[in-house]
């Protein structure tokens, strides 16, 4: 059986160039980048190259890139780092109610430390109103943290507009771009954000490595303390192999960006049109146009997404019901509930994400199998039977 992998938000296969770069480092570069001898210098040069590659993907300066262990650490570093460095100015932070768990749980911890959190509502498409952000700002506000694009429904937020407000009010602005970086073009100078988080495994890099863009002059308390690594912003011996993988993944995302975008848009449109034609009572989530091109969130009425996912897996098709970081929970997605969806429909949601290796033939396979699986589950659903009987 040929397996169809459509869970590329959880993790992506390594790009061949990434594998090649990481293998070379494993074989040839084992020194500590902080060492002054030739082995340390070779490792430091590898980090410098990766830093430039990552900066190029974002349109930043190399010195503004801090390497981390992944998106979660980048988010925590940004939020806690600003909160702790600005605690004398104020203890108020603004966010939305559909952020990733790494943001929400980080803010929950800060509440225990007497920080005040304002969590803004979004509309039915998952968009936050910049006017609501501006209205929420007080003289105690030290940080605004809002996703560039949502990881479950794909809605892209008006980040540049919000950043302009933050700049006028002299408030630090962080955007979680883990779902977007390497997928859509990002220019941190055009967005005018102070901090931006990303993770390598979203764009064919390795798991367990990420980066935090820190605009020059942004106040930031170190999350990890110890040595002077990462320009004194993140202590600890760097994961050279992983970082080299991140750098090469960033370079390939930049080089192949246009080609990937066109493929994603083609596959997404084919899937949405195909599902609409084959399965009744579906709801597609997220903004109709301001949305990530590689992501489809679809809610299937009368059934549970968990059962649908498991039956698709038996057919050799791998999809998700929500973000991998929230999988295992029996609760409906907080993102979908935040857009006003009812609990029952939210429970019937699938998250399908494409990668650079996916093909139209794989979409055809999903379109062949999914209607049959949906009907099997609906035939067992008393709610569906009552609906049909009306």
SS (H, E, C) 292-348: CCCEEEEEECCCCHHHHHHHHHHCCEECECCCHHHCCCCCCCHHHHHCCCCHHHHCC
Spell out the domains of the chain, with CATH numbers in brackets. 4-12+257-389 (3.90.1150.10), 16-255 (3.40.640.10)
Residue 327 has pLDDT above 60, yes or no: no
| CA 12/CA 183 separation, integer angstroms | 12
Note if 318 is an active site residue: no
Q: How confident is the model at residue 325 (pLDDT cuts 50, 70, 90)?
A: low
- What are the tens digits of pLDDT across the range 141-194? 999 999 999 999 999 999 999 999 999 999 999 999 999 999 999 999 999 999
pLDDT at res. 324? 47
Place of tokens 């699986």: 373
Mean pLDDT of the chain: 95
Q: How confident is the model at residue 388 (pLDDT cuts 50, 70, 90)?
A: confident
Return the bridge partners of 149, or none: 156
Q: What is the pLDDT of residues 51-77, one digit of tens each?
A: 999 999 999 999 999 999 999 999 999
pLDDT one-digit tens code per residue, 7-47? 999 999 999 999 999 999 999 998 999 999 999 999 999 99
Measure the N-to-C terminal CA separation of the chain; round to a whole number of Å. 40
Res. 329 pLDDT band, cuts 50 70 90: low
Of residues 42, 132, 224, 325, which has the active-site annotation?
325
Mean pLDDT of 315-342: 82
pLDDT digits (tens, 9 = 90+) for 250-274: 999 999 999 999 999 999 999 999 9
């Amino acid at each position: 059986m040929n397996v169809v992998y459509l869970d590329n938000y959880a993790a992506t296969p390594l790009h061949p160039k990434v594998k090649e770069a990481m293998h070379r480092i494993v074989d040839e570069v084992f020194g500590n980048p902080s060492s002054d001898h030739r082995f340390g210098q070779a490792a430091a040069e590898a980090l410098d190259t990766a830093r430039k590659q990552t900066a190029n993907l974002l349109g930043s300066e190399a010195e503004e890139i801090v390497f981390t262990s992944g998106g979660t650490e980048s988010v925590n570093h940004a939020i806690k780092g600003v909160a702790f460095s600005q605690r004398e100015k104020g203890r108020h932070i603004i966010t939305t109610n559909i952020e990733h768990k790494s943001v929400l749980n980080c803010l929950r911890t800060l509440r225990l430390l007497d920080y005040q959190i304002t969590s803004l509502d979004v509309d039915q498409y998952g968009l936050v109103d910049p006017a609501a952000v501006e209205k929420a700002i007080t003289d105690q506000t030290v940080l605004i943290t809002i996703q560039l694009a949502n990881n479950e429904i794909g809605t892209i937020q008006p980040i540049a507009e919000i950043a302009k407000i933050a700049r006028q009010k002299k408030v630090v602005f962080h955007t979680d771009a883990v779902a977007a970086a390497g997928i859509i073009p990002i220019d941190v100078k055009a967005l005018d954000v102070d901090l931006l988080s990303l993770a390598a495994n979203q764009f064919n890099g390795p798991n367990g490595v990420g980066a935090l863009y820190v605009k020059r002059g942004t106040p930031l308390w170190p999350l990890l303390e110890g040595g002077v690594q990462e320009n004194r912003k993140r202590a600890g011996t760097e994961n050279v192999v992983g970082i080299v993988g991140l750098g090469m993944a960033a370079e390939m995302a930049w080089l192949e960006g246009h080609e990937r975008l066109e493929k994603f848009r083609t596959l997404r449109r084919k899937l949405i049109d195909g599902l609409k034609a084959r399965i009744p009572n579906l709801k597609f989530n997220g903004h109709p146009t301001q949305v990530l091109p590689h992501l489809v969130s679809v809610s299937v009425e009368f059934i549970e997404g968990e059962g649908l996912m498991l039956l698709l897996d038996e057919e050799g098709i791998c999809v998700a019901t929500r973000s991998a970081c929230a999988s295992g929970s029996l609760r409906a997605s907080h993102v979908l509930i935040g857009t006003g969806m009812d609990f029952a429909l939210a429970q019937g949601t699938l998250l399908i994400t494409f990668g650079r290796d996916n093909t139209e033939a794989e979409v055809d396979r999903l379109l062949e199998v999914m209607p049959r699986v949906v009907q099997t589950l609906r035939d067992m659903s008393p709610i569906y039977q009552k609906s049909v009987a009306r």
